[in-house]
Amino acid sequence: MILVAGSANLDFVVRASHIPAPGETVLGSEFKTYPGGKGANQALACARAGGAATHMLLALGADAYALPLEASLKSAGVQLHIVRVSDQATGTAFICVAEDGQNAITVAPGANFFLTAADLPALAGFSHLLMQLEIPLPTVLAYARAARSQGVRVVLNAAPAQALPAELLQLIDVLVVNQGELEVLAGGPGSLAECLSRIEVPCIVVTLGEQGSCARIGNSMLSQAAFEVNCIDSTGAGDTFCGVLVAALARGDEWQQALRQASAAGALACTRVGAQSSIPTQSEVNRFLA
C-alpha cells in the first residue's frame, strides 16, 4: 500500500501556438480546467495506471476549486486524508500548452503550503511514502523522518527543483528527478555520470525526455528508451511516470520492468490533454506494452 503526501491543484490550461517569451502576449485558443498538482497526479497514477492500493494526504481550501480534485481522486479509488484549510484557497496552477506539447507552468500553492508535520496519518500498512516539493520542505523532512523510523521506503520526486538539506537526502531510498533537477541537487552542471556521483542516495531515477530514462541502483546503471508517441500535451507525464514507478516497485517488480511500465504510462499520458485526465489505466498500459 502506498501513501502519497503532496499537493493538489486545480489547473487552468490554455493552448497556444507557442509559450510566451518574457513580456510577450500570445493569443490562445482552447481553455479548460483540469484536476492537477504533482501529489494528486502521482496518487492517481499509482492507483489508475499502476493498479496499487493508494492513499493520499493533501490540504484543500473550503472552496469550489477543491470539489473536482476530490472527485477525480475518489473516482480512481484513492483513499483521501484531507486537511481542510478554511482561510486559504485550494492550490491552483496556470498552464500554457504549446502546439508541440511543451508547457510552462506557474503554481499558486494556497492550502498546499499549510500541510504540517502533525497531519501525517499512521503509517502502519504502508510500504512506500511518495512525496514531491510542492508542500513545505520542513513538512517533507518530518514525513521522511517518520517513514524511515517505521521502515517505510521514502520516494521523493524533487520537483520543483531546489537544494535539499543533507539530512533529507540521507532519508531518501529512491530519488526521481529530471535533468535540470539533477543538476540543482548535484550543485551545478556536469555530465549525467558526474551529477549522479555527487548525490549520495541509494537509488536515483532520471527522466530524460525523448531520450527515455535511466536509473543508478547502487553502483549499477540501467536505461530505458523512450516510447514513440504523438505528443499532444506533456502536462502530467512526469507525474504519471513517478506514480507508476512506485506502484511497480511496491508490488515487487524488478527495476528494469518498473522503468518500462513507468515509461510506457508516461508516454501514453502525452497523447492526451490535461494532467489527471491524461493518465491511462493499467490495462491501457499493458496493451500498449504488448
Enzyme catalytic residues:
239
Q: Tell me if residue 59 falls in helix, strand or coil.
A: strand
DSSP-assigned beta bridge partners for residue 4:
56, 130
Give the distance from CA 3 to its chain's centroid.
Answer: 13
For 28-102, list the strands marked E by DSSP: 31-36, 54-61, 79-85, 91-97
DSSP-assigned beta bridge partners for residue 81:
57
Query: Within 13 A of 3's CA, how many CA atoms are on the CB side?
Result: 22
DSSP-assigned beta bridge partners for residue 104:
96
Quick one: DSSP state of residue 226?
P
List phi, psi (to 5°) of 91.
-60, 145
Q: Tell me if residue 145 falls in helix, strand or coil.
A: helix
User: CA-to-CA distance for 139 and 119, rounded, in angstroms?
Assistant: 9
266: amino acid identity, one letter: G
User: CA-to-CA distance for 9 and 67, rounded, in angstroms?
Assistant: 11
DSSP-assigned beta bridge partners for residue 57:
5, 81
With CA atoms as reference, report the closest residue to 7 among 131, 176, 120. 131
Do the strands 31-36 and 9-15 form a parallel or antiparallel pair, or are they unpaired?
Answer: antiparallel
